[in-house]
């Protein structure tokens, strides 16, 4: 609930309006998620709150916790009240903490290199379930007087297919009473759903857009990302460029490097042709090998050559800094394994 909604709900119960501010302060500043501990609220009112409301993190169960060996990345698998599960990841950078949130439980986009569509029911997450993925980490950080300051919507799911909940959650996190996170510190990543990019443009918020591109040859992109058949990538790049121009935010194109598939000089040249003179940057991501699918990581020399071809054509590009590689290798797989176990148990 946003503040005005909570104020109305409290008024209907005969509680004073200012209680809403106190509750927000407990929940989102102090990260206390239990009404019983809200000591500046009278006992009878606390009991009434307990009876009438639930704070979602209390119902979200952390079923797995993985820490990377470098200590910079923590991944949680959260079980939702319907038994579904989502992954959320906290990363510690020099500039602070960022969280990569999921927008759907599972995903229906069937990208060839992704485990998010495997096993388990696929459904949209609610605003509260998206927010819980951030506040569950704020609750851990609060004792160190730290907070999450960046959000990337890049976990499982296609955010543009759950548009209202994703942008509702981001707007909540932006509010001073919510998490006070600047829109400039938020990124939404899409596999290329053009109507979603256009809606994002209509919102007029300076949120960054990232596009998972991964191939610039029609046939290969159809194979790697079936969404390309509905929204061909040249149209996606055109929509993203319009977004960049209207928002003033550079678009990031994610490009997973797959040995002998999309990592040739010719691929780099084609990519440069598409992105030259655009407000765009490329994030090159050497793949985490999936031998069963024939995905291998190009060697270091090839990766650097690909980068240098882009740079020669004046396309801004970087190689993604690998964080928590040991646990990121399992991206989407934690949820898939959990769903599988549950199915067996049932």
Active site amino acids: 87, 331
Query: What's the closest the beta carbon of residue 238 comes to ligand SF4, in angstroms?
Result: 20
- Nearer to ligand SF4 by C-beta: 55 or 191? 191
Stretch that binds ligand SF4, among 50-58, 150-158, 169-177, 244-252 (CB under 6 A): 150-158
Binding positions for ligand SF4, 194-233, rule CB under 6 A: 212
- Nearer to ligand SF4 by C-beta: 102 or 138? 102
Backbone angles phi, psi at 208, to 5 degrees: -75, 145
Give the Cα separation of 170 and 181 in Å (integer). Answer: 9
- List, in order, residues 6 or more apart from 275 with CB less than 8 Å away: 237, 253, 282, 315
CA torsion, ordered 287, 252, 319, 159, to nearest 10 deg? -30
- Nearer to ligand SF4 by C-beta: 76 or 111? 111
Q: Which of 109, 127, 239, 257 binds ligand SF4 (CB under 6 A)?
A: 109
- Nearer to ligand SF4 by C-beta: 116 or 119? 116
Q: Which of 129, 158, 263, 267 binds ligand SF4 (CB under 6 A)?
A: 158
Query: What's the closest the beta carbon of residue 110 comes to ligand SF4, in angstroms?
Result: 6
Binding positions for ligand SF4, 269-298, rule CB under 6 A: none
Q: Which of 55, 105, 148, 191 binds ligand SF4 (CB under 6 A)?
A: 191
Stretch that binds ligand SF4, among 114-122, 130-138, 297-305, 320-328 (CB under 6 A): 114-122
Give the Cα separation of 5 and 234 in Å (integer). Answer: 42
**Encoding tokens for residue 13?**
């119960």
- Nearer to ligand SF4 by C-beta: 186 or 225? 225
Count residues binding ligand SF4 (CB under 6 A): 12
Q: Is residue 146 helix, strand or coil?
A: coil
Give the Cα separation of 66 and 77 in Å (integer). Answer: 9
H-type alpha helices, 33-149: 43-52, 56-59, 127-141
Q: x/- string (CB under 6 A) for ligand SF4, residues 89-108?
A: ------------------x-
Q: Identify whether the C-beta of residue 113 lies closer than 8 Å to the C-beta of residue 256.
A: yes
Find how far residue 319's CA is from the centre of its chain. Answer: 19
Give the Cα separation of 110 and 223 in Å (integer). Answer: 10
The position carrying tokens 């927000």 is 24
Q: Identify whether the C-beta of residue 80 lies closer than 8 Å to the C-beta of residue 91.
A: no
User: Rule CB under 6 A: is residue 116 a binding residue for ligand SF4?
Assistant: yes
Q: Identify whether the C-beta of residue 285 lies closer than 8 Å to the C-beta of residue 320.
A: yes
User: Rule CB under 6 A: is residue 156 a binding residue for ligand SF4?
Assistant: yes
Give the Cα separation of 182 and 265 in Å (integer). Answer: 38
User: Rule CB under 6 A: is residue 111 a binding residue for ligand SF4?
Assistant: yes
Query: What's the closest the beta carbon of residue 101 comes to ligand SF4, in angstroms?
Result: 12
User: Rule CB under 6 A: is residue 117 a binding residue for ligand SF4?
Assistant: yes
- Which residues would be at the binding site for ligand SF4 (CB under 6 A)? 107, 109-111, 114, 116-117, 156-158, 191, 212
């Amino acid at each position: 609930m946003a503040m005005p909604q909570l104020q109305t709900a409290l008024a209907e119960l005969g509680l004073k309006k200012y209680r809403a501010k106190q509750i927000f302060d407990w929940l989102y500043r102090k990260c206390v998620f239990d009404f019983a501990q809200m000591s500046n609220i009278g006992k009878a009112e606390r009991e009434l709150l307990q009876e009438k409301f639930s704070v979602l993190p209390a119902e979200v169960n952390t079923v797995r916790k993985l820490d990377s060996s470098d200590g910079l990345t923590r991944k949680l698998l959260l079980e939702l009240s319907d038994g579904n599960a989502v992954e959320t990841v906290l990363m510690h950078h020099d500039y602070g903490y960022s969280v990569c949130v999921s927008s759907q439980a599972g995903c229906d986009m069937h990208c060839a290199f992704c485990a998010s569509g495997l096993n388990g029911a696929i459904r949209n997450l609610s605003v509260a379930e998206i927010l819980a993925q951030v506040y569950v980490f704020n609750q851990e950080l609060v004792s160190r007087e730290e907070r999450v300051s960046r959000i990337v919507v890049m976990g499982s799911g296609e955010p543009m297919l759950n548009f209202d909940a994703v942008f509702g959650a981001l707007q909540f996190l932006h509010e001073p009473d919510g998490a006070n996170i600047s829109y400039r510190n938020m990124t939404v990543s899409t596999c290329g759903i053009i109507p979603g990019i256009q809606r994002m443009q209509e919102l007029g918020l300076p949120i960054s857009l990232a596009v998972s591109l991964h191939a610039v040859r029609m046939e290969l992109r159809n194979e790697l990302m079936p969404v390309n058949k509905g929204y061909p990538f040249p149209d996606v790049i055109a929509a993203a460029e319009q977004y960049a121009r209207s928002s003033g935010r550079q678009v990031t194109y994610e490009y997973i490097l797959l040995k002998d598939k999309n990592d040739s000089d010719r691929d780099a040249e084609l990519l440069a042709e598409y992105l030259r003179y655009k407000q765009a940057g490329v994030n090159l991501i050497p793949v985490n090998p999936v031998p069963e699918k024939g995905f291998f990581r190009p060697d270091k020399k090839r990766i650097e050559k690909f980068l240098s071809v882009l740079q020669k054509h004046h396309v801004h590009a970087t190689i993604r800094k690998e964080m928590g590689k040991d646990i990121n290798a399992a991206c989407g797989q934690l949820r898939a394994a959990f769903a599988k176990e549950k199915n067996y148990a049932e």
